[in-house]
Structure 1
Amino acid sequence: MKISFSPCPNDTFIFHAAVNGIISDAPELDVTYADIDITNHLAAQPDGPDILKVSYAALPWIQPDYALLPCGGALGRGCGPMILVNQEESTQLDPRKLSGKVVAVPSERSTAYLLFRLWSAQNVPNGIGEIVVLPFHDIMPAVRDGKVDAGLVIHEARFTYPDYGLGCLVDLGHWWETDTGLPIPLGAIIAKRSLDIDATIHWIRQSLEYAWKHPQVSQDYVLEHAQEMSPEVAQSHIDLYVNGFSRDLGEEGYHAVHALLTRAAQENIVPPIDVEALRWDRS
C-alpha cells in the first residue's frame, strides 16, 4: 500500500509503528516522505497514493475517490502558523504596512495560507504585494537575509525563529481561535475509498496508541527524518501537534474544518466543498 506523509516529527511519530511492522493489522507500507506542498498536489492527481497526509486547505481539490479520515492528522490550539519579520521590525511594524510587501509562504494550498489570506483581508487594506512559495525550511533564512519582507511559517519554526533574528508579527492561530473559538485544522489524513477504510482507521489508531505508550521506541526513526532538528525541538513538535484530535476529530474538529473552508470559499480563496460528504464516519 502506498502512503505519503511529511518527514515532520508528528507524522513519523504517529506512523512509526505501522511503517516498521509493529502493528500486525497494518498492511505493508511503501512510504514516500514529502513536503506538504507536494502531497497536496499528489492528492489532486488521479493516480495518487492510497493514503496521504494533506493540508485541510487542499481538500477542495482532492480526487473524489478519497475520503477524509477522523484520525492521524493535526488539529489543535496554540499551534497555528505565524507571520515573521526581522526582530527589530516585529515590535514596530503595523500589520497594515504589509501592503505591497513580498511575503513567502510554504504552499498556496495550506491552512497557513488560508488563514493568512483571511487575516490579511481584514487587516491589510490594500493587499499583499507578492506571494512567493518556498519550502518551509527556506522561509526563515529568506526573511533574515532580506530576500522577502515577511514569511509565513509552520511546524517547528514556532520554536526556532528567534535563532534567525526574527520576531513574530502575527500569530494566526491566536487570531483564528479568538475570532472563531475553534481549534485550527492543519493536516488531514485521506485514503482511497476502495480501501477497507474502517480497517485503515483501526491500524492508524493502533500505531498512534503504540507511539504514546512507547515514545522512546520511535525516537531514532523520528530524528532520522527530522532534518537535523534537535531532540528537544522534535519532542516539542510532537507534544504540540499530536493530541486528542489526532486520535479522533470529533464533532468539534469537523466543525472547525467546515468553518475554515466555508469562510475561505466565501472569500473566493477555495472552491465550495461539502465537508460532510467527504468525511468517512458521517452518520
Structure 2
Amino acid sequence: MKFRKLLLCMLAGIFLAGFANIYTYAAEEDQNVTVNTDTTDKTAGTQNDAANTNIVTVPDSTTEDLQKPADAAGTANADTAKEETASADNTTVKEQETKTADTTKKAPVKTKAKKAKAAKAAKAAKAKVTKKATVKATAKYSKADLRLLSALIYCEAGGEAYNGKLAVGIVVMNRVRVSAFPDSVKSVIYQRYQFGPATNGSLSRALAEYDNGKFNSQNEKACVRAAKEALSGARNITIGGKTKKFGSYLYFSGRLRGYTYRLGHHQFK
C-alpha cells in the first residue's frame, strides 16, 4: 500500500512538472509573438514614417536638379539635331560640289572629244582635197597620147600664145570626155574630116621631129607643156589675169560659123 501511494505521488509530481513546463513554453511563445508583432508594427510604422518623411521633405532643389538634367538632355538633343541637320546640309553641299566637279570634269572631256572629232574630220577633208589635187596633177596618160597631142597642138596653134595652145588641147580632151566623139586621144585626132593636119601631112612631120628628138624649141616645148596640162584635166584658161572656163567648147577653127568665143586667130564654140 505504501509503495503504491509513493508511486502515485511520483507520477503526480512528474505530471504537474510537465504541465508547468508546457504552460511556461506557451506563455513564452505568446510573449514572443506579441513582441514580434509589435516590433513588426513598429518597424513598418517607422518605415512608413521614413517614407512619408522622405516624400514630404523632398527639397525643391531636387526637382530643379531633376529638371536640369531633363533640360540638359533636351538641349543636348537639340544640339544633336542641329549637328545632324548641319551634317546633312554639309553632305548635301558636298554632293552638289561633287556633282558640279564631275560636270566640270566631263565638260572638258566632251569639248576635247568634239575638238578631236572636228580636227579628224578636217584632216580627212584636207587629205581628200589633197588626194584629188594629186590625182589631177598626176593624171595617168600614155607617152603616145602626149606625143600625139603635143604634135597636134604644134600644128594647129604653134603660132598662138600659150593660152591659145592650151585651148586647143582642152577642146581635144573635151571631145574625149563626151559621148558624141570617140573615147581616146588618137581616135579623136584621126577622126575623119575633123583636123586638117591629120590629113595634109603636117601632123606626120611634127611626129617625126618628136620621135627624132628635135621637138625641143621653145615653141615646141610650150606645146608639150600645154599637152601635159590638158591631159592632166585642165579645163580653164587664163586671159588678162582672169579665168575663162573652157570645159564646154568642142570646136575651133579660123573660120567657124556660130562661134561664141574668139582667142587669137581661132574661134571656139
TM-score greater than 0.5 by the shorter chain: no
Choose between structure 1 and 2 for higher RCO, CA contacts under 8 A separated by at least 6 residues. 1
TM class by smaller structure: under 0.3
Query: Which structure has more strand as a fraction of its residues?
Result: 1
TM-score w.r.t. length of structure 2: 0.20
Query: Which structure has more helix as a fraction of its residues?
Result: 2
TM-score w.r.t. length of structure 1: 0.19
